[in-house]
A and B are shown apart, each in its own frame.
Chain A
Amino acid sequence: MASSNELLHGTLETLILKTLQGGSRHGYSIARWLEDETSDGLQIEEGSLYPALYRMERRGWIEAEWGKSELGRKAKFYRLTAEGKSQLARQTNEWAAFAAAVSKILLPSTGLIAEKA
């Protein structure tokens, strides 16, 4: 089981961007969605999640808006910006290329990974 500590550098950010592709979410909901989607295969640590969100907000990939959580408390809802969207596309491509390259070494005979994503 991979914890987010072991996630390759930048991967968490890409995952967050992907999460927000479906619409705006607050921090808790992002973590929950990622864990649910991977059937708890990824466990997102809050200690990494929030700094990542703030960093991305500072870079302008995502923007935030105050809203109400399901429990009626003030919460920040994050949303992809145009720049965030293009960032997601770029990072997805990079990841695919990286994964393909690593797979060529680690899984040489399976042929399960396509040459190019």
Chain B
Amino acid sequence: MSRDFRARFRALLLRPAVEDEVESEIAAHLELLTKRYEERGMSPEQARRAALQRFGDPAGTGSVCREIAGKRNRELRLVQWCAEFALDVGQAFRQMFRQKGFTAVAAGTLALGIAAVTTVFSFLEAVVLRPLPFSEPDRVVRVLSQERETPGNTSTGAFGAWLERSRSFEAMTAVVDEGVTLQDGQGATRLNGLTASAGFFRVFGLQPALGRFFAPEEDRPGGERLAVLSHRLWTSRFGSQPEMVGRRIVLNAEGYTVIGVMPESFETAMPGPDVWMPLRLTDSQLHHFGGNYLRVYARLRTGVRREAADAEMVALSRQIDERFAGSPEPMSAQVVAFSESFSGKYRGRLFILFGAVGLVLLIACSNVGNLLLARGAARSREMSVRAALGAGRGRLIRQMLTESLLLAVFASALGLFLAGEAIRVLIAVSPSDLPRLREVGLNGATAAFAMLAGVGSSLLFGMAPAWRAAKADIQEALQQGSRTTAGGGNDRMGSLLIAAEVALSLVLLAGAAQLIQGAVRLARTPAGYEASGVLAAQLALPAASYGTPERITGAYGRVLEQVRAVPRVETAALGSRVPLEGPSLGGQFVREGQTLSPATAIRARMSLASPGYFRALRVPLVAGRDLEPRDTAGSVRVTVVNETFARRLARDGRVLGARIQADIQDFAGADGRQPGIEVVGVVRDFRDGAPWEETEPTLFLPLTQVPSGPWEWLGRGLYVVARTAGRPEDLVRVIRGAVAAVDPSLPLYEAHTMEFLMARTTAAIRLNLILFTGLGLAGMVLAAIGIYGVVSHFVARQTREIGVRLALGASIRSVLRLVIGRGMRPVAAGAAVGCVLSVALSRLLVSQLAEVTPNDANAMVAAVAGFGAVAFLACYLPARRASRVDPGVALRDL
């Protein structure tokens, strides 16, 4: 469309010139030739014909010449354009150096904006945009089961059915994290294991760095135990020896044969696992719809779109549901891109942050635009002179844009440098679970982005002054002289820019205020437990030596005794979770005798705990009794519940002494019946999950009464929770020794203070809070500078008028009112727009940042009030200067 238009435009403008040139030249030639033949005695008619014959093909020659001339003209124009551009650049350079202060402020402002967007872009690029390092990453998806609202892991039964009946995928795999203990000459080390079904390597299209991967027939129960090492483990632990393939290693007290090493690049896509093992699901597992603990990944068939696969899986899951599951909530499924599930919560956060820095850059642009306008006013005489000397409107616009462009190039270079520094700082304070963090940095893409941002900005902020330059009215400006310069239009545009700045920075500020509000609310919500002085560490028993619940609880009993004997340990306990950490088990419960239905079922979290667990965390008991040593495998099944669970239970009867039943297959006795569990105590609600999550109904079961199923889910692992006198971290070594005294092959790992765990959970929030507050303040300062500049400019221009007013008896108050009103009008307009935008964007913020409450009116009011005060100050300072104008001086200048 535009190309077509341009071609026609050129045809209109240029062809007549070229055509005329060639035509006249050939005509002159023919005329001279004819004359010559006439002189030789031919009749004019004969001579004319002879000349034409001699010339040959005037039309053909003409068209060849026209073509060459056309090219020649285009080249000439380009050369001329370049020459003019070089002139403009030279002029712009001089301009920049003549006004060093202006250049420094403008380039500095812009560089900050560019640095901000480039910094966030470099994170976005590495974490979200850069393709993952395996073959055709776009075709790899994660398949989620969906019961209730939140999509998540899948049951073995559903996976079995999907594997058998889905048609959209080339390969599908299910994985489960399984911590393993590696034992060798260097002692016992806890590793992150991943058990995966054989399709794993096809789903990700991987080639082993060494050896081979396991085949489908090796992913069956009862076969040889095989392991594939991560490249990292292979190098760090086994010195990159190629002979490792085929060697046996001891994992969880059992022998495994190493068959291969993962490619190094895959660690970017899946940094967690140290070792891969076959999942080896049994046939009965593949038909069992119990707990949802499998993560399922798949590779789409060529040509199958994710949406199509999603539709198929939704339909398929519904069928499966009708045939097998019989669960009270209908099952569905969801297919999401692997890259999306990979960057997870950070994807949205980064995009929001990117939007925020984009706003800062826009504010910086309008500020620089304003600066240029103010300077443009001072230069309008220069522009008028140029125009009077014959510079076309286009040339003037181009010259102004060239100046902007040069400024932008400077700013981009400076911004890129600042971004490099900012990236280093941010990497250091980023949450450690941010994927691909190590790949974040300046590279070709980010440099190109910075330049693009610079050039884009220069077009944005250069527009206003260029527009002004184009409208330079020669006569008016030359007549008016230098004292007063281009008036109303400049002010209107300045006001518009101010309003835009105010709106944008208010959006930022409101966002920041919402985050602050959220953080304050989180900080105020009591955790319900006392974190200081508590150490939490993990421990897991290998199945080979601890096969039965009796052996497991026996070993844990001895561990607890040893840990409690450590000096300075005040209380110690064991639990399947500590607040914020550990596997979350869930299930449905009903009062004994009731049938399971949506009305009767209580969905609850389950935790295993030893006696003393609540004491160690200082969670108060509100009714009944704590779990006690007398609750043994042989005694009545008991549980302590939290208040939320108790409230739910209290709806239909008493709580203490109530007997409930689980709807969990692994809990059933040999006869298939669910045993009754008696509620013996109620503890105060405490925050088990992240601070912004609602407390869920939770029940705590004594370790000693847990059948083998749940132990399997937990990998026979527990947390040691110890309340210590003094610094908990000082006791890690002693406690590790105490555990080793029970079994030297048991590593105590992930030992952290509870305070550290809390800080880690909120690291992302804190970072966000700091960033948004910083950006909001930066936006506000920029906008304030802009307002100050525009109002100062107004005052400077109106000094005479103000002087006259004062001379005629106007009060200082009225002058203040005039000037402040002048400045605050666009601020108010911008603030109104900003509020509307904020409300609209608030929803987006809430959807991505769990800690934010929707449309927080307080936050909004705070943002508007804070901003209003700063804007008022920015108007007041120049207004006060105006009110001190000496009428005598102002009038003398007339």
Q: Do A and B bind each other?
A: yes
A contact residues vs B (CB 8 Å cutoff): 26-28, 45-47, 50-51, 53-55, 57-58, 69-71, 73-76
A74 pairs with B65, CB closer than 8 A = no
Q: Which of B21, B25, B27 has the most CB atoms of chain A within a 10 A radius of its CB?
A: B25
Q: Mark B58-81, 1 if CB is under 8 A from A, else 0.
A: 101100110011011001000000
Other than the known A26-B25, A27-B28, A28-B29, what 6 A-B pairs have Cβ atoms closer than 8 Å? Answer: A46-B58, A47-B56, A51-B68, A58-B75, A73-B31, A75-B28
A46 pairs with B71, CB closer than 8 A = no
9 nearest interchain CB pairs? A54-B68, A75-B28, A58-B72, A28-B32, A73-B28, A28-B29, A47-B56, A69-B28, A74-B24
A51 pairs with B61, CB closer than 8 A = yes
Q: How distant is A3 from chain B, measured CB to nearest CB, in Å?
A: 11
A75–B35 Cα distance when bound, in Å, is 15
Contacts of B55 in A (CB 8 A): 46-47
B812 contacts chain A at the CB level, 8 A cutoff: no
CB nearest to B57 among chain A residues: A47
Given A54-B65, A75-B25, the answer on whether A28 and B33 have CB atoms closer than 8 Å is yes
Contacts of A51 in B (CB 8 A): 61, 64-65, 68
11 pairs, A vs B, C-beta closer than 8 Å: A46-B58, A47-B61, A50-B26, A50-B61, A54-B69, A58-B72, A71-B31, A71-B35, A73-B24, A75-B25, A75-B29
Given A46-B56, A50-B65, the answer on whether A58 and B71 have CB atoms closer than 8 Å is yes
Q: How distant is B70 from chain A, measured CB to nearest CB, in Å?
A: 10
Contacts of A69 in B (CB 8 A): 28, 31-32
Given A46-B56, A47-B60, A51-B61, the answer on whether A74 and B28 have CB atoms closer than 8 Å is yes
Contacts of A50 in B (CB 8 A): 22, 25-26, 61, 64-65
Contacts of B35 in A (CB 8 A): 70-71
Q: How distant is B599 from chain A, measured CB to nearest CB, in Å?
A: 90
Contacts of B28 in A (CB 8 A): 26-28, 69, 71, 73-75
Contacts of A53 in B (CB 8 A): 65
Partner of A73, one of B27, B54, B58, B72: B27
Q: Which of A47, A54, A71 has the most CB atoms of chain B within a 10 A radius of its CB?
A: A54
Given A26-B28, A46-B29, A54-B69, the answer on whether A76 and B64 have CB atoms closer than 8 Å is no
Main secondary structure, interface of B, reads helix
Contacts of A74 in B (CB 8 A): 24, 28
B32 pairs with A54, CB closer than 8 A = no
Contacts of A47 in B (CB 8 A): 55-57, 60-61
A46–B35 Cα distance when bound, in Å, is 16
Contacts of A70 in B (CB 8 A): 32, 35
Contacts of A46 in B (CB 8 A): 29, 54-56, 58, 61
A54–B22 Cα distance when bound, in Å, is 10
CB nearest to A70 among chain B residues: B32
Contacts of B32 in A (CB 8 A): 28, 69-71
B56 pairs with A75, CB closer than 8 A = no
Contacts of B54 in A (CB 8 A): 46
CB nearest to B33 among chain A residues: A28
Contacts of B24 in A (CB 8 A): 73-76
CB nearest to B27 among chain A residues: A73
Q: How distant is A5 from chain B, measured CB to nearest CB, in Å?
A: 11
A71–B27 Cα distance when bound, in Å, is 11
Q: How distant is B35 from chain A, measured CB to nearest CB, in Å?
A: 6
Contacts of B69 in A (CB 8 A): 54, 57-58
A28–B28 Cα distance when bound, in Å, is 8
Main secondary structure, interface of A, reads helix
A73–B25 Cα distance when bound, in Å, is 9
Q: How distant is B450 from chain A, measured CB to nearest CB, in Å?
A: 39
A58–B58 Cα distance when bound, in Å, is 20
A45–B64 Cα distance when bound, in Å, is 14
A55–B22 Cα distance when bound, in Å, is 13
Given A47-B61, A73-B28, the answer on whether A58 and B68 have CB atoms closer than 8 Å is yes
Q: Which of B24, B28, B31, B69 has the most CB atoms of chain A within a 10 A radius of its CB?
A: B28
CB nearest to A29 among chain B residues: B32
A26–B31 Cα distance when bound, in Å, is 13
Contacts of A45 in B (CB 8 A): 56
Contacts of A26 in B (CB 8 A): 25, 28-29
A104–B25 Cα distance when bound, in Å, is 43
A27–B24 Cα distance when bound, in Å, is 12
Q: How distant is B26 from chain A, measured CB to nearest CB, in Å?
A: 7
Given A47-B61, A50-B61, the answer on whether A27 and B29 have CB atoms closer than 8 Å is yes
Contacts of B56 in A (CB 8 A): 45-47
A81–B58 Cα distance when bound, in Å, is 27
A27–B64 Cα distance when bound, in Å, is 16
A51–B58 Cα distance when bound, in Å, is 11
CB nearest to A75 among chain B residues: B28
Q: How distant is A29 from chain B, measured CB to nearest CB, in Å?
A: 8
B21 pairs with A76, CB closer than 8 A = yes
Q: How distant is B76 from chain A, measured CB to nearest CB, in Å?
A: 9
Q: Mark B103-131, 1 if CB is under 8 A from A, else 0.
A: 00000000000000000000000000000
A85–B28 Cα distance when bound, in Å, is 26
Q: How distant is B234 from chain A, measured CB to nearest CB, in Å?
A: 65
Contacts of A75 in B (CB 8 A): 24-25, 28-29
Contacts of A58 in B (CB 8 A): 68-69, 71-72, 75
Q: Which of B32, B56, B75 has the most CB atoms of chain A within a 10 A radius of its CB?
A: B32
Q: How distant is B61 from chain A, measured CB to nearest CB, in Å?
A: 5
CB nearest to A45 among chain B residues: B56
A57–B25 Cα distance when bound, in Å, is 14
A73–B26 Cα distance when bound, in Å, is 11
A50–B64 Cα distance when bound, in Å, is 9
A47–B56 Cα distance when bound, in Å, is 7
Q: How distant is B624 from chain A, measured CB to nearest CB, in Å?
A: 100
CB nearest to A56 among chain B residues: B68
Q: Mark B137-176, 1 if CB is under 8 A from A, else 0.
A: 0000000000000000000000000000000000000000
A17–B25 Cα distance when bound, in Å, is 19
Contacts of A71 in B (CB 8 A): 28, 31-32, 35
Q: How distant is A75 from chain B, measured CB to nearest CB, in Å?
A: 4
A11–B124 Cα distance when bound, in Å, is 63
Contacts of A73 in B (CB 8 A): 24, 27-28, 31
Contacts of B72 in A (CB 8 A): 54, 57-58
A75–B33 Cα distance when bound, in Å, is 14
Q: How distant is B682 from chain A, measured CB to nearest CB, in Å?
A: 95
Contacts of A54 in B (CB 8 A): 64-65, 68-69, 72
Contacts of B29 in A (CB 8 A): 26-28, 46, 75
A27–B29 Cα distance when bound, in Å, is 7
Q: How distant is A76 from chain B, measured CB to nearest CB, in Å?
A: 5
A53–B28 Cα distance when bound, in Å, is 15
Contacts of A27 in B (CB 8 A): 25, 28-29
Q: How distant is B309 from chain A, measured CB to nearest CB, in Å?
A: 59
CB nearest to B56 among chain A residues: A47
A26–B29 Cα distance when bound, in Å, is 9
A55–B25 Cα distance when bound, in Å, is 15
Q: Which of A28, A53, A57, A70 has the most CB atoms of chain B within a 10 A radius of its CB?
A: A28
Q: How distant is A49 from chain B, measured CB to nearest CB, in Å?
A: 8
Q: How distant is A66 from chain B, measured CB to nearest CB, in Å?
A: 8
CB nearest to A43 among chain B residues: B54
Contacts of B58 in A (CB 8 A): 46
Q: How distant is A63 from chain B, measured CB to nearest CB, in Å?
A: 11
Q: How distant is A51 from chain B, measured CB to nearest CB, in Å?
A: 5
A58–B74 Cα distance when bound, in Å, is 10
Q: Which of B24, B58, B64, B68 has the most CB atoms of chain A within a 10 A radius of its CB?
A: B68
